[in-house]
Structure 1
Amino acid sequence: MTFQLNKLDNLDFDEGQEIIEDYIEDAIWDFVDSPVGQEYIKTREQGGFWIHHFIEFGYMYEGYTLSTMTVSDVKTIMEYILPRKLMILNEEEVEDAIPELIAFWQYLGETHKRKTAKGIIKYLKTLENKFTAMMTDDSSGSFVKSMLMNAHKSGLDMTSEEALIKFLQGQSQNKVSSDKNLQVSQLLGKSTIPPSMKNKYDEITNLTDDFCRNYLNDEYLEFSRKLTTVLCNYQPSPLNKGKAKSWACGIIHALGMINFLADSSFEPYMKSSELYQRFGVSESTGCGKSKQIRDLLEMSRLDQEWMMPSVSESHPMSAIANIASTLKQILDWE
């Protein structure tokens, strides 16, 4: 079967998630079968690791696809996403990264006629002497990545529970609390709405209340009000710019991302495309507002503050969330 380069294009995020692994596998095999790929594998016994993570992380974190990717998009993946999200413990693991990605983009240029391939290859070549340092710099990643890399460098046996607990307790002396985390933590305790935001709050919650009553449940209604309250109190509030229906959609989508609204094994269930349609907003608007909210408040699926009780009780991610919560207490994150 011929690899369809644009298969991810025009899909909503949920649909893309369902096929991303097969898409990546097809892309790698098509590359290997190409003249460029055949030449590349002559000198390398294994490959595909960097292609896999390049495609996956670019799509999952920013929605980038191979058929539309620009030099700027590739720069974001290489300089921001991969160093922050991918944990590399050995410099040797990075040696093939740039050669593999250059070969892959040569294939995309020759086989799929990607016009941006030459510019992307030119950019990738500028990373040849510095990408290893970028990927192994423990200060460039998230806190968890940095912590684990430091543990590895210190010779910690990551399979020993006793050693891991001892290491975490030692880290508790270094309190990790960003200004953003502190502000969000303080806002979660507020239930009042600033007078200047009262009209905006009413406008948004009227929409989310109606939506939750008609299509979701009381949990979503309660949590959407809670999230709107936090956003109204955030300084400066992002709700001051943009339409109420756009924010209402973004609020429900953000909560849905954490509480598996698009997972058909759960109730309530709704695809993102249906959510956007019912609010009367475009995918880019609804998804964009959701991402803005999640980035602003650092929301994630391990965040018990935004995980609804019904989800916490039944989803296996809740076990991970409990572990994360325990680690946060040990490390004095809060």
Structure 2
Amino acid sequence: MNVIYMIDLYPTAFRTDPQSSFDLITKTWFPGFSNHVLFDSLDNDEQEYAEQILLDFTGFVLYYQNCVPEDWSPSVIEHCLVKDFPRSLARTEEYEYSIFNVLLNFFAFLKEENLHPAADDLFSHLISLDDKFREKMEDTDLYSPRKSLIIASMNEGIQEDDYDAMLKYFNQVGYRELADFDTGTIEIINKIMGTWVLPFSDSWYITNVEDATGNEIIFVISLLITGTLSNSLYVPPSDWYTDVIADFIEDVLVPYPLPRKIREICIPIFHAFFTYMADQNLHPHAREIASDILPLQEKMITEGPDEDDSDIQLFLIQSLLDSDVDVSDEQAILDYIDDNKEELFQKSIEFTSSGDLKKLMGKTSASQKQIPELRRKPVDFSSIPKATRDWFMAISKMTDAFCNERLDEDYAGLCRYVAGKLARKRDNKISRGKREIWAAGIIYAVGQMNFLFDKSFEPYQSADDICQYFGTSKSTTSQKAKLIRDLIGMDDYWDPEYSTSYMRNKNPFEKFCMKKNGFII
């Protein structure tokens, strides 16, 4: 195969010149390895991909950890294999299947030939990482937005080293997904995502935020973009400056009930993002913004809304902020409510329950109107094809049992709704695979969209809890959840169709949805 050097693909410079490290692989170590009996024990695919795998491994370790081959250690290879490769390495499935055996035999070669002082430890530690490495590589939630784009592009026949073609594909999809918006907004979002966010999501800057997954990175950056583009703020990213970003964080993000982990990583991700833009000369105010937002970390964590804040309080705060009302001026707040009762009533139907609305509106004429409950319609059993009714009943029984025991009726109804949509699909994919995996995958997918795995949310269950209950592996369940989301279009956070009532009531941005594939609509 044609060797692709990592330096040709990444938009940011290595902190250490990579040429001598790549030369060590291509001119010294790989020639010796390729003529060794350990190389002969590899299968055809593994032999074909071996040199590229060694170059990718060398490049990743140098790019993300600034570590040259002579200094490789067990902790360095573990970081690469369970964090950097799963997040950012985008190759074919055949290539990924070959990685572990190639590295295992290569480290054995270094050990036999006494070519590396830590070769024995590298080989031994790599063996212990086998299951963990494969599980992480299969976890699509860890993918960076850039990796997701590359894989989607490759599935469309675009070459993995043709990044210009990938961006063109990304923009085409963006125009299709954002068709309801004006051309100017679409162009802003596509440009920012393509030239700022995607490269950042795979840059070494993101390693400063160790615990952030690919989904969380795109989610947090989406909050920033949508928040500054929506409602009364409307400040295009090209016009960002310190006061705009700081005010957005303090006035918009801090008051909203975001998951605990998101609150903790928001400022570190913003800081890494603006530092990246400053170093790459992408924004004139980036360095200043990166420095000035750091003191807001404590406020972001400690000054969020209490768990018992009512939905109507959160809705009212958003309405006040959207209308530029001074939330510290009690009389201004009362005047705003009095002047906008009817409009507030209509908007609040999407955010709150009828009980909370009556508390706000008192005895106005609007409060006497019948407020429709935002309940999902039960699945119409007669609408499900006879061929899949047994499957639907079996899956619903399993998801009901789990939800009734560990979650709530809201989750149970939502899982039945998803099972019903799957049962009505004509491609009949549900006929393949164990039903326990389908049930676990449905709960997993619904949980992903509703922050079920975040301990600061109620109810809470971990991904491991779901898998242990149904006796399924985490990697298989994660893959099934991804398939389910793809089959029914479940890819928007706070999409009312797939949100619990709790999540619907706490949607921080009513104009946009943040999509898991990186698009903002």
Q: What TM-score results when the alignment is normalised by the length of structure 1?
A: 0.50
Whether 1:324 and 2:512 are equivalent positions in the alignment is yes
Partner SS state of residue 457, structure 2: coil
Contact in 2 for aligned 1:85/1:141 (Cα 8 Å): no
Partner SS state of residue 66, structure 2: helix
Whether 1:134 and 2:168 are equivalent positions in the alignment is no
Q: Which letter does structure 2 place at the counterpart of 1:81?
A: S
CA shift digits 1:239-292 (9 cap, x unpaired): 211222111111100100001110001111111011100111122321121111
* Residue pairs, 1:1-334, within 5 angstroms: 31-34=65-68, 56-58=87-89, 68=100, 81-83=148-150, 131-137=162-168, 142-143=173-174, 151-152=187-188, 191=380, 192-302=383-493, 303-314=495-506, 318-320=507-509, 322-324=510-512
Q: What TM-score results when the alignment is normalised by the length of structure 2?
A: 0.34
Structure 1 residues 35 and 236: CA distance shift in structure 2, 3 A: closer
Partner SS state of residue 276, structure 1: helix
Partner SS state of residue 496, structure 2: coil
Distance 1:150 1:193 in 2: 38
Distance 2:190 2:395 in 1: 50
Query: 1:69: how far off?
Result: 10
Structure 1 residues 216 and 27: CA distance shift in structure 2, 3 A: farther
Structure 1 residues 203 and 55: CA distance shift in structure 2, 3 A: closer
| 5+ long unaligned stretches in structure 2 | 1-59, 72-82, 103-136, 138-142, 154-158, 179-183, 193-224, 237-376, 515-520
Distance 2:89 2:171 in 1: 18
Distance 1:153 1:263 in 2: 28
Q: Which letter does structure 1 place at the counterpart of 2:503?
A: V
Distance 2:470 2:446 in 1: 15
Contact in 2 for aligned 1:261/1:267 (Cα 8 Å): yes
Contact in 1 for aligned 2:171/2:190 (Cα 8 Å): no
Contact in 2 for aligned 1:254/1:290 (Cα 8 Å): yes
Q: Which letter does structure 1 place at the counterpart of 2:511?
A: I
Aligned counterpart, 1:90: none
Contact in 1 for aligned 2:87/2:144 (Cα 8 Å): no
Q: Which letter does structure 2 place at the counterpart of 1:32?
A: N
Distance 1:139 1:323 in 2: 22
Structure 1 residues 152 and 200: CA distance shift in structure 2, 3 A: closer
Distance 1:211 1:160 in 2: 40
Distance 2:86 2:410 in 1: 35
Structure 1 residues 80 and 225: CA distance shift in structure 2, 3 A: same
Q: Which letter does structure 1 place at the counterpart of 2:512?
A: A
Structure 1 residues 153 and 206: CA distance shift in structure 2, 3 A: closer
When Rg is computed on C-alpha atoms for both structures, the one with the higher figure is 2
CA shift digits 1:182-233 (9 cap, x unpaired): xxxxxx9972322121111111111111111111110111001101110000
Q: How many residues align?
A: 214
